[in-house]
Structure 1
Amino acid sequence: MNLEETIKHTRKKAEEMATKSVELFPSCEGRKYLDCAEEYYQLADWLEELKELREYKKKMKAQFLDDIENPLEPIKLSSALESEIFKYEYRTEHDPQKISPLDYTIIYALKHCLEEQLKEVE
């Protein structure tokens, strides 16, 4: 079963649990079937999110290979932003006096450039 089939199957099970009789779902072990159905709906939502993230990751990797010379390519900006945020969080936790206004400026500039580049892609 692939991810798309799993999502459909999970949503179908959730709908069945929300509408069918107790005898059909012994796996719920005495819990309210609406609660069990809610868990299946949540699982389906998480699987949808996983699918979207995989598609986004695939798109970003393809873009990186297509435009490797562009210094403002979204994947490069995103990596730089993640690195700056990591550095900021590390300093916040271990050495707060080393945080400077330049750290905030770099994070804001990278975020702004990334947002602008993503607007152009869409």
Structure 2
Amino acid sequence: MNLEEAIERAKYIATKKHSEAMIHRVNSNNEKYDERVEWAEEHYQLAEWLEELKELREYKRKMKTQFLDDIENPLEPIKLSSALESEIFKYEHRAEHDPQKISPLDYTIIYALKHCLEEQLKEVE
């Protein structure tokens, strides 16, 4: 089963359980109704997570492709993302171990990288 099939299956089961729940609700069987609603909600949540995984995989694929296609671009999103992660890591390390070493420049660099990344991602979409 591939990811797309898993998403469709989770949606199908969620819809089926929701329909079954409605039948039990009409028949006034609250226990079975509650059970079916819970199953439906779990499968809707599973489908949502799988959709998110699919989107993240597609995003990762685009970033890797872009990295290979545009290796000379210093503002390429994957490079900006890596730089931002590095700066956040340094900030968190300083905050935990040596807070007095945090400077306004740290915040400025993080904000600038975040802003550039957001702008670059707008252009990609």
**Same fold (TM > 0.5):** yes
CA–CA separation in structure 1 for the residues paired with 2:35 and 2:98: 50
SS in 2 for 1:32: helix
Report the more deviating stretch, 64-73 or 92-101: 92-101
Report the alpha carbon displacement of residue 8 of structure 1 after superposing the two structures with TM.
0.2
Structure 1, unpaired ranges of 5+:
23-29
Please name the residue that 1:78 is paired with. 81
Report the alpha carbon displacement of residue 64 of structure 1 after superposing the two structures with TM.
0.2
Is 1:46 matched with 2:49? yes
Letter in 2 for 1:50: L
CA–CA separation in structure 2 for the residues paired with 1:66 and 1:58: 12
Please name the residue that 2:11 is paired with. 11
Letter in 2 for 1:15: T
Please name the residue that 1:94 is paired with. 97
Using the aligned pairs only, state the percent identity. 76
Report the alpha carbon displacement of residue 120 of structure 1 after superposing the two structures with TM.
2.1
- State the number of aligned residues: 115
CA–CA separation in structure 1 for the residues paired with 2:89 and 2:44: 34
Q: String of CA shifts for 1:63-87, please: whole Å, max 9, x gaps.
A: 0000001111111001100111111
Q: Which aligned segments of 4 or more residues in structure 1 are displaced greater than 6 angstroms? A: none
Please name the residue that 1:59 is paired with. 62
Q: String of CA shifts for 1:45-103, please: whole Å, max 9, x gaps.
A: 00000000000000000000000011111110011001111111121122211111110
Is 1:114 matched with 2:120? no
Report the alpha carbon displacement of residue 119 of structure 1 after superposing the two structures with TM.
2.1
CA–CA separation in structure 1 for the residues paired with 2:17 and 2:38: 9
Structure 2, unpaired ranges of 5+:
25-31
CA–CA separation in structure 2 for the residues paired with 1:45 and 1:11: 9
CA–CA separation in structure 2 for the residues paired with 1:115 and 1:34: 39
Report the alpha carbon displacement of residue 121 of structure 1 after superposing the two structures with TM.
2.1
CA–CA separation in structure 2 for the residues paired with 1:80 and 1:107: 9
Report the more deviating stretch, 109-118 or 36-45: 109-118
